[in-house]
Chain A
Amino acid sequence: MTGSRLSVAGVVGGGLTALCLLAAALSLIWVPHDITVLTIADRLLPMSATHLLGTDHFGRDMLSMLMEGARTSIAVALVAVGIGLGLGIPLGLAAAAHRGGWLDEIIMRGNDLIFAFPSLVIAILITAVFGPSAVNAILAIGIFNIPVFARVARGGALPLWTLDYVMAARVAGKGRFLISLQHILPNITNLLIVQATIQFSLGILAEAALSYIGLGAQPPTPSWGRMLADAQTLIYTEPQLAILPGLAIVGMVLGLNLLGDALRDALDPRLQRRRA
């Protein structure tokens, strides 16, 4: 039923996203060439039947690199969104349930505090202290997702708290926790899904940025950001080495943003009515 309501943008976005996800999933069981084997003789081959997208300066197959890189980027972004959802939603719901109280105040000022730090600088700090790795990149990106989801959850929950069915639940003796769980959360899921799509795309970008400056996934784990960084010195002679991972990042992020927009339209009952 949702499918028929999705717009053209939604289909394109969903298609791009699905393509990247499929490539990442496929790389778990199969890639065209093993990328841990460096064959210097095959370096910088053009596109051909054996190497569909050519090879890089170590003779690794670019298509295989992109597929495995997708896995790293998506895994980092996905777990980072998970951290944001898992911690942000309870905090946002708690803040809304205690609107105007000290708990609300503490949570929201804590949010402001995290927002006040430039995320990339903190990410660099974390990796500088704990060493660069994909896990630390996940943590660095994930922490900055928490206040985003907390805000969305609180903002979505506040108007619901004034509705009569919440009042009825209070009359039925239910406390803030049960009401948040049973009445508020199910009715803000559409907001959260849309926000998660957006944060996912931002996570892809952030992972690429961290890997680009060498603070994300470490060799030999490929990631789109690291591929960009590796291609930097060859940018004038072998531009495809930079263009291919660049296109992958753009495709994934664009796909997620289009999908997020389409989901927002499809899940918003007001927009539905206007369309009908």
Chain B
Amino acid sequence: MIGIDRLSVSFGETAILRDVSLTLEPGRITGLVGESGSGKSITALAMIGLLPTGATAQGSINLDGRNLLTLPEAQWLDIRGNDIAMIFQEPMTALNPVQTIGAQVSETLRLNGTPRAEALRIARDRMDRVGLSAIPLDRYPHELSGGQRQRVCIALAIARRPRLLIADEPTTALDVTTQAQILDLLCDLVRADGMSLLLITHDLGVVAGMADHVAVMKRGEIVEQGSTEDLFRTHSHPYTRDLLRASRPVPRAPRPLSGDVVLQARDVTRRYGAVTAVDGISLTLHRGESLGLVGESGCGKSTLTRALLGLEAVQGGTITLLDRPGGAAMTRADRAKISVVFQDPYGSFNPRWPVHRILTEPFHLTGRPADAEARAAEALHQVGLTAADLHKYPHEFSGGQRQRIAIARALITRPEVLVLDEAVSALDVRVRAQVLTLLDDLQARLGLAYLFISHDLTVVRAICDNVLVMQAGRFVEEGPIARVFEDPQDDYTKTLIAAAPMIPADWLEDR
């Protein structure tokens, strides 16, 4: 059994963790949830003795009666991999691209003095254990898919049968169906092999489906912990309540839509060489409508988005925007009628530009109006910021505020269609809920039509009237949001919906 007792970590004067206590029992999954910057990852790094230089830790991490915090690095080498192992968020960068996966999985055993042949035999065994029995050990990471790579990372982590596995956002970079498989595998490892798992995630849906015990973290402190179902049902801390409420947004009720078509695509096809990224797609978007577009990575939704925005020519089909030629054929004035909000609140702005310059950039399409600055201020007001923010720089804002600025930029030319490309996917749940409310509100006030592209079905359900499910360049299902979610017809849609981590509805009902 591994226990953290009153662990505090600080950088100089700044306290990062305060009095964190957590008990990790064998054969159990402990979920550690919280928003970005809450100290989840620092807790994990402290537990594996990899705190960044400059950090000082107090309290204790107990393993077999030893306080690990006081151990010298030489003894940590023995504990890492042997007693405690870790897997990370990004399977693309967690493996060395120039070494075979067999060499990487067996390396940790070889370090321990295991002979090469024996190490490879164990590596094979662990690879079989994580469901990669069909993959030879002499493969390189680039030959595997993202999900397979994450399995290799897990095989590597369990090579020496550690007692505790720390998984830091292990599925955040993966598609929803792959995520479900990896989570199943982790569950199985814990139940069958008696390992203890510390699952760090921002996603309460994942925790609800997996963890036995949950700890909620906020600003370096655990504000509440308990067994999962109890905590979800009877949480007492207001922060937990906010998190839960934000994690399960209310599905949008059916509402009448105007008949005006603003954006239409017919039989749009885009090929790259022999690959058909978008294969004869047709869609219709009405004024004031929110149309969801869901699908996994590589399904063609990005290509379709670029085609609709006119950034990429198509090889077949037609796009119409407000009864005029759309897509790459748009004139500058037409382009001002469709705008876009991207996913990454950190990469969305030139870091050297002040906000007023960022906001007025789309006027390049229409010519800069005399009241450009006033329009920029107005756009900021619409998204809940103030004119005082006009002369600040992007780094002075939080992620949520940046996403508001991105929305303000998209609104500045008074468009009819807003393409929201994973626009809330990088945000913490509470901020995400606020931005979704803002989007709802803007739609009601301005009659905007949204094309809402997301991999997150919960969010799509909260904001969309209709939804399109895309797979391999085609729509496999489309229809009103409630119908598709409650009664999916296509097998792929069913898989997607079943794989999406959800908090059971009745856990939250009585509140």
A164 to B349, CA, bound (A): 7
Interface residue? B311 (CB, 8 A): yes
Closest to A175 in B: B364
Chain-A contact segment, one of B136-144, B335-343, B486-494:
B335-343
Interface residue? A233 (CB, 8 A): no
A169 to B339, CA, bound (A): 11
Contact bitstring B344-370, A, C-beta under 8 A = 1, else 0: 100111111000000001111100000
With a CB–CB cut-off of 8 A, which chain B residues contact A164?
A: 342-344, 347-348
Contact status B311-A171, CB under 8 Å: yes
Interface of B is mostly: loop
A183 to B361, CA, bound (A): 11
Interface residue? B309 (CB, 8 A): yes
Residue in B335, B342, B361 whose Cβ sees the most chain A Cβ within 10 Å:
B361
With a CB–CB cut-off of 8 A, which chain B residues contact A165?
A: 347-350
Interface residue? A235 (CB, 8 A): no
Tell me the minimal C-beta distance from A265 to chain B in angstroms. Answer: 16
Out of A163, A173, A178, A183, name the residue touching B365 (CB < 8 Å).
Answer: A173
Interface residue? B266 (CB, 8 A): no
Contact status B344-A168, CB under 8 Å: no
Q: Taking A173-B332, A173-B365, A174-B364 as contacts, is the C-beta distance between A168 and B352 under 8 angstroms?
A: no
Interface residue? A187 (CB, 8 A): yes
With a CB–CB cut-off of 8 A, which chain B residues contact A172?
A: 361-365
- A-facing residues in B305-333 (Cβ within 8 Å): 309, 311, 332
Tell me the minimal C-beta distance from B244 to chain A in angstroms. Answer: 31
With a CB–CB cut-off of 8 A, which chain B residues contact A3?
A: none
Number of contacting residues on B, CB 8 A?
A: 22
Tell me the minimal C-beta distance from A87 to chain B in angstroms. Answer: 24
Interface residue? A186 (CB, 8 A): yes
Interface residue? B409 (CB, 8 A): yes
- B-facing residues in A192-216 (Cβ within 8 Å): none
Interface residue? A182 (CB, 8 A): yes
Interface residue? A170 (CB, 8 A): yes
Closest to B332 in A: A173
Closest to B333 in A: A173
Interface residue? A19 (CB, 8 A): no
With a CB–CB cut-off of 8 A, which chain A residues contact B361?
A: 168-169, 172, 174
Tell me the minimal C-beta distance from A67 to chain B in angstroms. Answer: 39
A64 to B335, CA, bound (A): 65
A183 to B309, CA, bound (A): 20
Q: Taking A168-B409, A187-B350 as contacts, is the C-beta distance between A173 and B342 under 8 angstroms?
A: no
A167 to B302, CA, bound (A): 12
Residue in A167, A169, A178 whose Cβ sees the most chain B Cβ within 10 Å:
A167
Tell me the minimal C-beta distance from A134 to chain B in angstroms. Answer: 37
With a CB–CB cut-off of 8 A, which chain A residues contact B311?
A: 167, 170-171
Tell me the minimal C-beta distance from A169 to chain B in angstroms. Answer: 6
Q: Taking A164-B342, A168-B409 as contacts, is the C-beta distance between A173 and B348 under 8 angstroms?
A: no
A110 to B406, CA, bound (A): 40
A182 to B309, CA, bound (A): 21
A163 to B353, CA, bound (A): 15
A171 to B418, CA, bound (A): 12
With a CB–CB cut-off of 8 A, which chain A residues contact B347?
A: 163-165
With a CB–CB cut-off of 8 A, which chain A residues contact B363?
A: 172
A171 to B362, CA, bound (A): 8
Tell me the minimal C-beta distance from A26 to chain B in angstroms. Answer: 36
With a CB–CB cut-off of 8 A, which chain B residues contact A171?
A: 309, 311, 335, 339-340, 362
Closest to B335 in A: A173
Residue in A170, A173, A182, A183 whose Cβ sees the most chain B Cβ within 10 Å:
A173
Contact status B351-A187, CB under 8 Å: yes
A103 to B479, CA, bound (A): 46
With a CB–CB cut-off of 8 A, which chain B residues contact A173?
A: 332, 335, 362, 364-365
Contact status B351-A168, CB under 8 Å: no
Contact status A187-B352, CB under 8 Å: yes
Tell me the minimal C-beta distance from B345 to chain A in angstroms. Answer: 9
Closest to B342 in A: A164
A168 to B349, CA, bound (A): 8
With a CB–CB cut-off of 8 A, which chain B residues contact A187?
A: 350-352
A154 to B185, CA, bound (A): 44
Closest to A163 in B: B347
A169 to B358, CA, bound (A): 9
A172 to B364, CA, bound (A): 6
With a CB–CB cut-off of 8 A, which chain B residues contact A174?
A: 361, 364
Closest to B330 in A: A173
Taking A167-B342, A173-B365, A178-B364 as known contacts, 17 extra A-B pairs with beta carbons closer than 8 A to each other, sorted by chain A number, are: A163-B344, A165-B348, A167-B340, A168-B340, A168-B342, A168-B348, A171-B335, A171-B340, A171-B362, A172-B362, A172-B365, A173-B332, A173-B335, A173-B364, A174-B361, A183-B350, A187-B352
5 contacts between A and B (CB under 8 A): A164-B343, A164-B344, A183-B350, A187-B350, A187-B351
A-B residue pairs, 8 tightest by C-beta: A164-B342, A172-B362, A164-B348, A173-B365, A163-B347, A164-B347, A186-B352, A172-B364
Taking beta carbons and an 8 Å cutoff, which residues of B are in contact with A? Answer: 309, 311, 332, 335, 339-340, 342-344, 347-352, 361-365, 406, 409
